[in-house]
């Protein structure tokens, strides 16, 4: 599969800002699909609203551009009615976690066979850079000109606690690892979640002295710690979620479980029949 068999060439060049991390994620998505040789005619891409919601419009496959925050709800419906399709949700942090927070938590708890790629750029990039639930502490956005005074969500840890089968966090500064992670998620049964920290130089970086995409990528690279270097000592000054509030991201595979997904639990009950 060539690059422009996967993406629509008539829509290229895409309309994201110069230096946006979404293009890197699109390259990684193509490479993972190309290496695994997945049929894109058997794949549905679902997205919500936001910059990331525009990505499935460029993919040469069936896609849904849904209402704000309800991407997971639509994807659940597709997966339950057509279990033979791969359903991939690509959406941003504002769509999946701000307005659609409960949908994704309960989808992870039910362990529905969805692959979710959440692109976290730490603000509402499309609407002008307002503060989001993922903005790190003390970062400046349009609506927090004196610095953010709330603590952000730790997205990957939240989904890991909710009970997903595969949870990972990578950044756009680690594209090769991200490709491996997408491949792993595609081969995992059950709810697979990948958080990708992405740069938003125009709306987030510009207000935090990182207007050049190169500076923002360097900041992401400096502020990411591999999970193998983390120590889970209870007496240490920072725990894993505290680091996230300071804009330090723990990268790596957080959780690999082997729970049976939502559809298969029903099948098991049908086979066994009622208990006497």
Partner 1 sequence: MYPIINKDYCKGCNLCVEVCPKRVFEKGMEITHRGYYAAVVKYKEQCTNFKIPNGGKPLCEICWLTCPEHAIEFKED
Q: Which residues form the interface with partner 1 (CB under 8 A)?
A: 3, 7, 12-14, 16, 18-24, 26-28, 31, 172-173, 175-176, 179, 201, 212-214, 217-218
Rounded to a whole number of angstroms, the minimum distance from the CB of residue 215 to partner 1 is 9
Nearer to partner 1, 31 or 169 (CB): 31
In angstroms, give the least distance from the CB of 256 to partner 1: 24
Q: DSSP states of 83-111 as a string?
A: TTSEEEEEEEHIIIIIISHHHHHHHHHHT
Which residue, 150 or 212, is less far from partner 1 as judged by CB? 212
Q: Which is nearer to partner 1, 27 or 144 (CB)?
A: 27
Phi, psi of 67 (to 5 degrees): -70, 165
Total residues belonging to the chain? 276
List of E strands, 131-228: 166-171, 192-197, 224-226
- Using DSSP's 3-state secondary structure scheme, residue 22 falls into helix
Residue 212 vs 266, nearer CB to partner 1: 212
State the Cα–Cα distance between residues 120 and 194, nearest whole angstrom: 10
Min dist CB 148 to partner 1, Å, is 26
For residue 4, CA distances in Å to 17, 187, 216 come to 20, 24, 28
Nearer to partner 1, 7 or 97 (CB): 7
Closer CB to partner 1, 190 or 213, in the complex = 213
Distance in Å, CB of 19 to partner 1, minimum: 3
DSSP secondary structure code for residue 202 in this structure: I
As measured in angstroms, the least distance from the Cβ of 248 to partner 1 is 21
Token pair of 195 as six digits: 């958080």
Which ranges of 139-212 does DSSP label H, i.e. alpha helix? 155-162, 175-187
**Residue 6 CB, nearest distance to partner 1 (Å)?**
11
């Amino acid at each position: 599969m060539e690059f422009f068999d996967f993406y629509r060439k008539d829509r290229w060049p895409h309309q994201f800002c110069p230096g946006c991390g979404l293009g890197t994620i699109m390259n990684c998505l193509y490479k993972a699909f190309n290496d695994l040789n997945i049929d894109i005619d058997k794949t549905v891409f679902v997205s919500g609203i936001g910059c990331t919601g525009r990505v499935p419009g460029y993919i040469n496959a069936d896609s849904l551009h849904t209402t704000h925050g309800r991407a997971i709800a639509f994807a659940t419906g597709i997966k339950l009615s057509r279990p033979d399709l791969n359903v991939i949700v690509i959406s941003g942090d504002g769509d999946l976690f701000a307005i659609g927070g409960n949908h994704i938590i309960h989808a992870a708890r039910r362990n529905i066979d969805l692959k979710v790629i959440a692109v976290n750029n730490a603000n509402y990039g499309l609407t002008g850079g307002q503060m989001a639930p993922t903005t790190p502490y003390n970062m400046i956005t349009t609506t927090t000109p004196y610095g953010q005074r709330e603590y952000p969500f730790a997205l990957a840890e939240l989904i890991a606690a909710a009970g997903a089968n595969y949870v990972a966090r990578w950044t756009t500064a680690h594209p090769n690892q991200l490709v491996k992670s997408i491949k792993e998620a595609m081969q995992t049964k059950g709810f697979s979640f990948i958080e990708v920290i992405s740069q938003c130089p125009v709306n987030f970086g510009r207000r935090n002295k990182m207007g050049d995409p190169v500076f923002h990528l360097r900041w992401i690279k400096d502020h990411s710690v591999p999970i193998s270097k983390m120590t889970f000592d209870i007496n240490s000054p920072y725990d894993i979620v505290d680091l996230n509030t300071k804009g330090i991201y723990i990268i790596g595979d957080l959780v690999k479980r082997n729970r049976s997904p939502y559809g298969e639990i029903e099948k098991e009950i049908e086979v066994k029949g009622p208990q006497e």
